Copies of this chain bind each other. A is one copy, B any other.
């Protein structure tokens, strides 16, 4: 008699965590040019793991870091799933802020909770492995019951510059019925959450150059254009009153969230309170008279991600700096067109910089917002399974972040995505001391396993290939 897949999964947990620790030790920081080899090593690691459970993997490169495409065994008359994830991680940055080294993953207890510590544990290596481990348990017991293709990229944290080309180039291989993604969070600790929309993204790096070199601020101050002052003023004028964004036609392609959805969101007061409290704040920024949930899920925003000008070391250097740079990004919703907004932003900045100063822009990604089709049978099935595994009703949530691939799947393959993530709000993704709760890792894997199993059972009804 074959082992039951769930028993197999559970007996595998110890070795699964060892595999995750190995994966997390690879410093696959996509934004750091010194870490290209680590990124390639992470792609190789994914290939090796998938090949060990009956998949056939290859690395593909379309200009940037390699992506992995991997196909499982063909199962006739069964649904076809494309699983998307990413092996790249954010920089560790301020090492002093990490309680343990970021790339020495470990299982520890923090606040009496068993966690997997390490950069990438929640975003996205750990979540990616919930799906792979589900596949492994099936492979090692009753067999993988559906057709699965993996597309695991290495540029998600830098805006996925080449994913569009990869999807286009390998269109035929990637054809599926739906995309599954595990790269998001649950809105509350044990409330399983399906993503029903994702905000779009637009990144811009703007550099102002004024005088030819840094100047003594006594000898020149008050008469020579200061790039830091110009940049600060130009950006500041985009912040309108009432938290709105002052760029022409910025809001024209946005519709309000339908009241039926909004009234469910407004009920999430505990989430909203905790959302602010968990980051040490009590008031929210942005548009007046909008609920926090509405603001982060369904309203656009502009954020200064970084700004830099002048002497950056200890002490004070009384100079007019020669240059100033800001990295600014927008989150977009509805039908907002990133390229139109990019042009508005650039025009706005240019209008505020004198002609003898230089303004340079560098584009850093552009992705339209996406809405999921939450009435698809996979969503209905997932809701049922998630309630079983987590003991609570599943919530359909908006997602404030942006996953470029999701837009490209829709655009190039006409594929809907189902975002099912198991990260928690205190996982510190993109920040120091990233972790994934052990419970999320194991229950996440269990959730995927049960979904895959039942898809097979239902497939003759739900799917016709």
Contacts and interface: CB of A to CB of B under 8 A. Distances in A.
B318 A228 contact: no
A354 B280 CA distance: 13
A316 B321 CA distance: 22
A355 B327 CA distance: 26
A307 to B, nearest CB: 5
Residue picked from A90, A93, A222, A356, most chain B C-beta under 10 Å: A222
Interface in A269-299: 275-276, 279-287, 292, 295-296, 299
A305 B311 contact: yes
A312 interface: yes
Secondary structure type dominating chain A contacts: loop
B285 A222 contact: yes
A54 interface: no
A233 B91 CA distance: 28
What is the total number of copies of this protein in its complex? 2
Band of interface residues on A: 35 or more
A292 B222 CA distance: 9
A226 B185 contact: no
A305 B91 contact: no
A64 interface: no
Interface of A: 31-33, 90-91, 93, 97, 158-159, 185, 199, 201, 203, 205, 210-226, 228-229, 232-233, 235-237, 239, 275-276, 279-287, 292, 295-296, 299-301, 303-321, 324, 327, 329, 331, 354-357, 364-365, 399-402, 428-432
Given A216-B429, A216-B430, A226 B303 contact: yes
Contacts of A233: 236, 239
A409 B201 CA distance: 58
Contact of A305 (B93, B201, B318): B318
A316 B204 CA distance: 9
Given A201-B218, A225-B281, 19 more contacts: A33-B314, A203-B316, A211-B280, A212-B280, A215-B279, A218-B331, A218-B401, A222-B286, A222-B295, A222-B331, A224-B276, A224-B279, A225-B285, A229-B304, A232-B236, A232-B307, A236-B237, A305-B310, A308-B309
Contact of A331 (B93, B211, B221): B221
